[in-house]
Structure 1
């Protein structure tokens, strides 16, 4: 048992004893002189106030937020997708702190001088919205098994990110991470 745990249990026991003795004295189950009873009652109220304040502070109840609710701000978000490399939408492998994602594939097809359709360019755009705000920090786009085309993070803030790939993303795993 650590010193921190010992201190915690000692404080809990002292709080419980103060509460029990004070309540028994107030209800006249045990005889306590008025001076000591007032001191015990004052100590009990201070311990109770300290406990409530500590719990409120630890659970972020005292923090101001836009909607009045206490929210913790995750500093991390991650999305792993299996990209098929064709017209199919990717499959989500894993997501953490991702509210929604959308993978848009733009294929530009032209017609050559013989009248045949020719694929001229492909671009893919990945839109991410985070479930809870993230801290704006390092944003990583990577793959363990394929070479990604040139990409650019067009916009990134605490609520969403937009990544544009300037070519077709081959079949494989695409990983996107917000790292503190």
Structure 2
């Protein structure tokens, strides 16, 4: 049991409730892999509305895959602060995404945000905006400091810097996921 972040590759921009068998979805427990937010901008925050309960909704991020790749590449310099290995992982992450034949990349965060806030609370949207703000800098040192100061991103940076667990950046290593 845990609180997960889910990254979905689908032809459906709101794939969670309609995952096709061929849709790829990645889960990471108790953290946000740092690369995942680098795919998005503020305008990519969306709302899932529950069709049976108009009082419940949750925030998620969705983007056209090609635009997500462009966004990620525009932030490549930020990963230099983590060293050569992180830069290589960033390039590998882009190659991984480019090989996936789906139109959208969807990031679901309501499960992990549920650790401290209601997913249908405006505080959840504020948290997402604060995280996305961190990725707006072009200065790698400021980026690192902002991550260290953000309670939601601190576990990722600690896992990567203290233990060299690459999943804290890319969310792709299944063996490390269960730590």
Compute the TM-score of the two structures, normalised by the length of structure 2.
Answer: 0.21
More strand by share: 1
The alignment's TM-score, normalised by the length of structure 1, stands at 0.21
Structure index of larger Rg? 1
